[in-house]
Structure 1
Amino acid sequence: MVRTLMSKDEKKRSPLLPGIEGPRDVQRLEPDELQALAAELRETIIGQVSGGGGHLAPSLGVVELTLALFRAFDFERDKIVWDVGHQAYAHKLLTGRYSEFDTLRKKDGISGFPRMAESPYDHFGVGHSSTSISAALGMAMARDLKGEKHEVVSVIGDGSMTAGLAYEGLNQAGGMGRKMIVVLNDNEMSISKNVGALSSFLSRKLSAPLLQRLKGEVENWVRGVPKLGEELAMYVKRSGDSLKTFFTPGMLFEAFQFTYVGPINGHDVGEMVKVFEQIKKIDKPVLVHVLTKKGKGYEPAENNPTYFHGVGRFEPETGLARKFTGAGLPSYTEIFGSTLCKLAEKDRKIMAITAAMPEGTGTDCFRSNYPERFVDVGICEQHAVTFAAGLATQGYRPAVAIYSTFLQRSYDQVVHDVCLQNLDVKFFIDRGGLVGEDGATHHGAFDMSYLRHIPNLVLMAPKDEAELARMMTTAFALHGPVAVRYPRGTGVGADVDENPKPIEVGTGEMVHEGKDVLIVSVGSRVYPAKEASMELEEEGIDAAVFNARFIKPLPQKQLLELAENYDRILVVEENAMAGGFGSAVLELLVDSEKLNGTTVKRIGIPDEFVEHGTQKELRSMLGIDKDGIKNAIRELVS
């Protein structure tokens, strides 16, 4: 059994959290009440996430840090920017959203990330990493230009400090010298364990007693130097700060012209408040290095912070996952991972690259079996792509596994470093389409649009698990850039061949015959289209379903032949309609002069950012599920 978070005395007292509406309510509490409030925050977060999923370990790790920030700053006036934002659940609970917290990540409920439209206390919307320092610097400059007086605070995790954008912000902030505060939340984790030289450097933490002992030993030694001893001792005494920055990560941040403070205990509210009160007096950029434990206060999350980073529903008493409908079917991510391992067994040139997400992308299997050919680059998607390009110039065949929404950050590298040079890099794009509860920042809504126009690139999307394995085989059968995008979640239960055969490039397949209307679909929408067509037969509507399989190159010959036989065509995709798969089909028909007398209707993701909800709810809302396809066909044939 998991230990309880609140003591008996804390449970006896009246709950404090329901009465907290903002930062000033936190400032009025006594020190012992803060401890009780911290326990209440953890109980509430665990209770909600266990029932609905979410980012548990990150938010548990910053409970005391959040309380200290709310105690020391007035966020009615001061500004706070949370990096990524998956650690902001306590922030939400302390800013008047306690009564709505049970709607977290649910359709029409509050977001899992800070959103400016949701609360005046959410000063910047976030969801991707390493943006907070740049955004905070912009706020600080705007404050100074307007002649205002308030603090600007950026809270960034050590995982986010591996990305180049963070250092671009640090460089500019240090050069401008504007007053701002960066809080480095150091738990030695991003999603998985941090990697790289910078992570090792940040872990060089010296305790205060050790530092004082070292300083004392140096003072005693120099006093023994004839004639100059006392003078040198005074210099050592005055240079305590220099010793600290030399032996800790402070030397890095001091080089960026930041005043470095720390490391300090990120679970001691009193100590942090004292530090924050002191640094508010410093009229230049300051970085406070805070040490926290990811998952703090909940034993399963402390023991397995990677699993509890972003977790589905679980039993709060044990931490064990709750069973759900569909359990037992492998996910697309799992099929990708197992297939990649099989391909790598036959081809020793295949390598796997991930950006801080070996578990999330399914490459943890590859890491276990082929560690010498596996690379986790940290939260550095741009670097991942160009690094892969470098490997490809030397005859290796890197598989870059990245979520669709994060690959957006690497667009220039995909164009300039891979496709322009026609290098043999394979992109496996997880979470293509609607991802569900993480919402607008995480939907893979644009990858077909931002990839299909790039020369030299082949782009595919599978209808099921078996087709994913075949497309992976196809990718490695080709020389040059190839991308395969697939959705979040489980497949349909299709049997995967032990030796999947490649697919002829630019060919689709007819999956359901019909004579009245043609449905052209791709990827995750093929099966709903087929189900819709079968049910429409009962209404006397005979709809054919064609699985295009390739977004680029399109199955042109087949599509043009089909356009000769159908005067009504419905195109279905789970991507932004602007510039997406449907646009490609329309361009083909227009350019080939095949639209005479043919009515084409498109359904997909409209020209708007889609908020959070379950995948089922969102697909229904957008009319791209089975029922939505049926309605679109009825309109088309009426």
Structure 2
Amino acid sequence: MTNSPNTPLLDTVKDPADLRKLAPSQLRQLADDVRAEMIDAVSQTGGHLGAGLGVVELTVALHYVFDTPRDRLIWDVGHQAYPHKILTGRRDRMRTIRQGGGLSGFTRRGESEYDPFGAAHSSTSISAALGFAVANTLSGAPGKAIAVIGDGAMSAGMAYEAMNNAEAAGNRLIVILNDNDMSIAPPVGGLSAYLARLISSREFLGLRDLAKRLARKMPRPLHSGLRKADEFARGMATGGTLFEELGFYYVGPVDGHNLDHLLPVLENVRDAAEGPCLIHVVTKKGKGYAPAEASADKYHGVTKFDVITGAMAPAKSGPPSYTGVFAKALMAEAERDDKIVAITAAMPSGTGLDKFQQKFPKRSFDVGIAEQHAVTFAAGLAAQGYRPFCAIYSTFLQRAYDQVVHDVAIQNLPVRFAIDRAGLVGADGSTHAGSFDVTYLATLPNMVVMAAADEVELVHMVHTAALHDSGPIAFRYPRGNGIGLALPETPERLEIGKGRVVREGRKVAILTLGTRLGEALKAADELDAKGLSTTVADLRFAKPLDEALIRKLAATHDVVVTVEEGAIGGLGAHVLTMASDTGLLDAGLKIRTMRLPDVFQEQDSPEKQYAEAGLDAAGIVKTVLSALRHNSTNVTEGARA
């Protein structure tokens, strides 16, 4: 725990209205105070650090120049909004961020009127801001919409789709391109700042408007030529030709850490009569905190750390992470098969493919924040005889569902989907929970869907997927560490659609999918102690189901309970459908399905989240006892006492 930083000017600012009472000369100190407060808060809680540090001055300037919340400030991705939270009345809760009952790690509409649009995935800000701007235009309401996009989000096609339609917003829409990786056109000292102020100034825009009106009176070829000459001249001087072609007036690049440069440009754009405008701001991730500046990737997301040294709390020793197990298993498969390639969408370290890339640089592809492209790119590779593994978090694969359907499943192409962060993920909350992948994949013809119960099963599933050339196949695994099993030297090829009985019993059958197997075994111990002999089976496959195993257990046990860490419509729904189609229900089968509740669960530790969902040993025991108390057959999906 560190001592609270000295922040005398920030202590006087409770919200942006207080900020706007300050003199411009005071904003530098305010930015320093905000940076110190953010570093101290995140050092105690963990969270996203580098991106927020890079936008401190920009955040101060935006709230100073624009009349928030009337002017709608929309942050892309959302993890760069910590300074924004500090300045918008949430400073006293910053040390609760990403904890149960605390502040969200992203922007969230229900948290503050200064968060007009929630964000946690990327590249949505311009579309949303366009909606706000057009709504204001249609209703005659005052206010502009300002989208702050960056941190890789411009690699996604949705950003350009929105920009291509931005003309409808007129001058109500302003896009801030937060360029914090590699500047499209690097700022060069005072000249760059002068040019940005010049071309955004009222005088320049006034002369430009006069020239445009005069040009309209000239013959069409000359009018068109003058317009192109204007765009070409400004493009040569400042960059930004692409954005001009998309209908934006481009201003920049501007040093995003120099308030003397930022303020006049933002003021000029605020007051401009031009159409939509894009300001290219160059920032540095981790700005103002030496350890974060030196290692942007390491300090993008952090655990608790020492402010003085930058040293993070040491990771707890224990079994390797599921992500690490996947990466190691995939590299072993790639050693045996030179047709295996790996694809990720801007998450090489998060998916473990950074290690694969080091070993197989020509067979590893990071496509940026472009999950749709990643999936269809993988489909193209598969159509040409390669064996692509597309490693994407469950929550991000949702963004490419159309491509999974049309480009992979309909064509029955053998793309391998490695689905990381399956199930509940804790501090990142509902936006990052892997709740829906079994539901949205198992509905598709030709798709095989597996879920690893432990790290050994994950190794087997990687091997099984590598050898599966008859169509698409997916395997899911959670965030966090395995349970400590020794990894097999030789992986096993699993028979498609076949589960395994882990524990034999006679009265109760618990069928699990994924890592709830451990809790099911604990529940079986408790039930056995009550005289209820319990079988536990790991189905392994949500699709195709092991119908023979399910029928056998249904015929020999009084009650069957399915347990999964996914949303309604997944394993339990498929088991009930099978039971209906095959006549098991007519035979009086008593069945209960357990899955995640039909709500977006709030952030907390995964253990607390699963307990809240009833998917722990206690919840399983309670469901079994409730089912056995009913004398009549009761078939219900999702029923839990």
Alignment TM-score, normalising by the size of structure 1: 0.89
Note if 1:556 corresponds to 2:547: yes
Match of 1:528 in 2: 519
Inter-CA distance 535–47: structure 2 relative to 1 (3 Å threshold): farther
Deviation at 1:185, TM superposition (A): 0.4
Q: Which moved more, 1:487-496 or 1:264-273?
A: 264-273
Contact (CA 8 Å) 1:5, 1:39: kept in 2 or not?
A: no
CA–CA separation in structure 2 for the residues paired with 1:158 and 1:553: 40
Structure 1 segment 108-187 matched on structure 2, within 5 A: 108-157=101-150, 159-174=152-167, 177-187=170-180
Match of 1:630 in 2: 621
Match of 2:325 in 1: 335
Deviations 1:240-296 (CA, angstroms, capped at 9, x unpaired): 874341354311111111111110111112321111111112231000000000011
CA–CA separation in structure 2 for the residues paired with 1:292 and 1:541: 63
Note if 1:586 corresponds to 2:579: no
Q: Which moved more, 1:25-34 or 1:565-574?
A: 25-34
Match of 1:616 in 2: 607
Match of 1:100 in 2: 93
From 44, 48, 72, the equivalent of 2:41 is: 48
Structure 1 segment 68-467 matched on structure 2, within 5 A: 68-157=61-150, 159-174=152-167, 177-188=170-181, 202-207=183-188, 242-246=232-236, 248-283=238-273, 284-323=275-314, 325=316, 327-467=317-457
Deviations 1:387-408 (CA, angstroms, capped at 9, x unpaired): 1111111111111000000000
Q: Which amino acid aligns with 1:164?
A: G
Deviations 1:353-374 (CA, angstroms, capped at 9, x unpaired): 0101100110001100010111
Contact (CA 8 Å) 1:81, 1:132: kept in 2 or not?
A: yes
Tell me the SS of whatever aligns to 2:84: helix
Deviations 1:23-57 (CA, angstroms, capped at 9, x unpaired): 11111123454333323322222223223221111
CA–CA separation in structure 1 for the residues paired with 2:151 and 2:509: 52
Structure 1 segment 539-578 matched on structure 2, within 5 A: 539-576=530-567, 578=568
Contact (CA 8 Å) 1:529, 1:629: kept in 2 or not?
A: yes
CA–CA separation in structure 1 for the residues paired with 2:628 and 2:193: 82
Deviations 1:332-375 (CA, angstroms, capped at 9, x unpaired): 10011111111001100000101011001100011000101111
Deviations 1:300-343 (CA, angstroms, capped at 9, x unpaired): 21111112212223333322331355x23211100111111110
Q: Which amino acid aligns with 1:381?
A: E
Tell me the SS of whatever aligns to 2:165: helix
Q: Which amino acid aligns with 1:449?
A: T
From 467, 477, 485, the equivalent of 1:494 is: 485
What is the CA RMSD across the aligned residues, in angstroms? 2.3
Contact (CA 8 Å) 1:265, 1:272: kept in 2 or not?
A: yes
Q: Which amino acid aligns with 1:615?
A: P
Contact (CA 8 Å) 1:61, 1:293: kept in 2 or not?
A: yes
Deviations 1:492-516 (CA, angstroms, capped at 9, x unpaired): 0111112211111111111122222
Contact (CA 8 Å) 1:204, 1:247: kept in 2 or not?
A: no
CA–CA separation in structure 1 for the residues paired with 2:143 and 2:191: 36
Q: Which amino acid aligns with 1:150?
A: G
Inter-CA distance 321–536: structure 2 relative to 1 (3 Å threshold): farther
Deviation at 1:630, TM superposition (A): 2.4
Deviation at 1:570, TM superposition (A): 1.3
Deviations 1:71-117 (CA, angstroms, capped at 9, x unpaired): 10111311111011110011111111111112111111111111111
Tell me the SS of whatever aligns to 2:37: helix
Tell me the SS of whatever aligns to 2:553: helix
Inter-CA distance 514–524: structure 2 relative to 1 (3 Å threshold): same
CA–CA separation in structure 1 for the residues paired with 2:64 and 2:170: 26
Inter-CA distance 590–19: structure 2 relative to 1 (3 Å threshold): farther
Unaligned regions of 5+ residues in structure 1, if any?
A: 189-198, 215-234
Deviations 1:152-201 (CA, angstroms, capped at 9, x unpaired): 1000005111110000000000366453100000001xxxxxxxxxx7xx
Q: Which amino acid aligns with 2:368?
A: G
CA–CA separation in structure 2 for the residues paired with 1:522 and 1:71: 52
Q: Which moved more, 1:169-178 or 1:608-617?
A: 169-178
Q: Which amino acid aligns with 1:496?
A: L
Match of 1:17 in 2: 10
CA–CA separation in structure 2 for the residues paired with 1:213 and 1:28: 27
CA–CA separation in structure 2 for the residues paired with 1:248 and 1:502: 57
Deviations 1:136-163 (CA, angstroms, capped at 9, x unpaired): 0011110011011211100000511111
Match of 1:220 in 2: none
CA–CA separation in structure 2 for the residues paired with 1:411 and 1:636: 36
Unaligned regions of 5+ residues in structure 2, if any?
A: 196-224, 630-641
Tell me the SS of whatever aligns to 1:99: helix
Match of 1:221 in 2: none
CA–CA separation in structure 2 for the residues paired with 1:52 and 1:499: 41
Tell me the SS of whatever aligns to 1:358: coil
Deviation at 1:206, TM superposition (A): 5.0
Deviations 1:449-495 (CA, angstroms, capped at 9, x unpaired): 00001111111001000100000100111112110111111110111
Inter-CA distance 168–254: structure 2 relative to 1 (3 Å threshold): same
Inter-CA distance 247–545: structure 2 relative to 1 (3 Å threshold): farther
Tell me the SS of whatever aligns to 2:422: coil
Note if 1:606 corresponds to 2:606: no
Tell me the SS of whatever aligns to 2:263: helix
CA–CA separation in structure 2 for the residues paired with 1:628 and 1:410: 34
Contact (CA 8 Å) 1:78, 1:150: kept in 2 or not?
A: yes
CA–CA separation in structure 2 for the residues paired with 1:579 and 1:147: 44
CA–CA separation in structure 2 for the residues paired with 1:629 and 1:35: 57
Contact (CA 8 Å) 1:514, 1:543: kept in 2 or not?
A: yes
Match of 2:495 in 1: 504
Tell me the SS of whatever aligns to 1:290: strand
Inter-CA distance 324–210: structure 2 relative to 1 (3 Å threshold): closer
Deviation at 1:619, TM superposition (A): 0.8
Inter-CA distance 391–136: structure 2 relative to 1 (3 Å threshold): same
Q: Which moved more, 1:142-151 or 1:22-31?
A: 22-31
Contact (CA 8 Å) 2:389, 2:417: kept in 1 or not?
A: yes
Inter-CA distance 43–418: structure 2 relative to 1 (3 Å threshold): same
Contact (CA 8 Å) 1:18, 1:98: kept in 2 or not?
A: no
CA–CA separation in structure 2 for the residues paired with 1:492 and 1:58: 33
Inter-CA distance 93–454: structure 2 relative to 1 (3 Å threshold): same
Tell me the SS of whatever aligns to 1:96: helix
Q: Which moved more, 1:169-178 or 1:83-92?
A: 169-178
Q: What number of residue pairs does the alignment pair up?
A: 595
Q: Which amino acid aligns with 1:45?
A: M
Alignment TM-score, normalising by the size of structure 2: 0.89
